[in-house]
Each structure stands twice: as C-alpha cells, then as structure tokens.
Amino acid sequence: MVILGVDPGFGTTGYGLLSTRPNSSEVPQLIEAGFLDSNKKKNFPERLDEIYKHFLNILKEFSPAAVAVEDVFSVGAFPRSAIFIGHVRGVILLAAAQRAIPTFTYYPIQVKKILLGYGRGTKLQTQKMVQRTLGLDSIPRPDDVADALAMALCHAYRSRS
C-alpha cells in the first residue's frame, strides 16, 4: 500500500511517498519525497493551478491508496498564512477526491504524539525520528519534505491500529 503524506504550503508543498504492508509491523519504506513550488511571478490563482497540476501528476504516477494531509492551524501572529495554506490544502484535497483517494488529516500535535509518544515534541525531534525510522543519512530538506514524511508515517501507524 502506498501512502502519500503532504505538508501544504503556499511557498513550498512537501510530499512523501511510503510503501507499507497493511497489518504489518515492518517499517514503511521510502519511495520518493520532494516538494512542489510555484512560479512566484504568477498571480495567486495561477500558482494554485500549478500546485494542483503538479499534485495530480504525483497521484497519477504513484496511485496512492491514501493521502495524509497536515491540518491547518492558525498561528495568531500569521493568520494570513493559514488562509493561503488553506487554499493550497483545498486544491490537494480536491485532486485526491477527484481520483477517489481517501484522505486523512492530522494536526502536528497528533503526528508528534504518534511518532514521538509526546504531542509537544519539537519540530527537530520529529524530523530526527523521520530520519531514524526511514534509515536516512540526514534529515530531509526542506522542512516541508520532512513534515510530509512524518504525515505519511503517522498515517501508516494509525492505519495499523
């Protein structure tokens, strides 16, 4: 089973694809990870369209069984960022729905609870756990990629129980 984790962002949207066997205690295997970005010279709707088309291509190429997406939370100091991220998240959810791929959403605190056993762990702790779990030489960069892989791992572990 292929799980696609997504960390939606307007500047950079991270994604990570893992292969896992249902009802298995084996560690999920990394298939591919990367990020989608859009041309900063284009207007907002055109940038959303770019992200949407890139994401559709990933869905077509890898045919994931599930998509795990970070849920939007607003930081009081940056409410506009949450709005932009919400738009990106919307096109991600739309693309998955159009291909009838089940989607699951998780807040960062849920991901940390599942991966670290503690919901208030740091971003760096989560990234190091992703690195260790997947046997990577270094923490995936940019941060959005590590966060997307954490989403996919979270869903892989949640779907086992």
Tell me if residue 144 is catalytic.
yes
CA distance 11 to 44: 11
CA distance 113 to 142: 22
Choosing from 26, 71, 144, 147, the catalytic residue is 144
Choosing from 61, 70, 137, 143, the catalytic residue is 70
Handedness of CA 61, 29, 159, 132 (dihedral sign): negative
CA distance 5 to 68: 5
Tell me if residue 70 is catalytic.
yes
CA distance 153 to 18: 8
Choosing from 7, 26, 32, 147, the catalytic residue is 7
- Long-range contacts: 21-28, Cβ < 8 Å, 24+? 22/159, 22/160, 23/160, 24/160, 25/160, 27/133, 27/134, 27/135, 28/3, 28/133, 28/134, 28/152, 28/153, 28/156
- Cα atoms in the Cβ-side hemisphere of radius 13 Å centred on 160: 14
> Catalytic residue numbers?
7, 70, 144
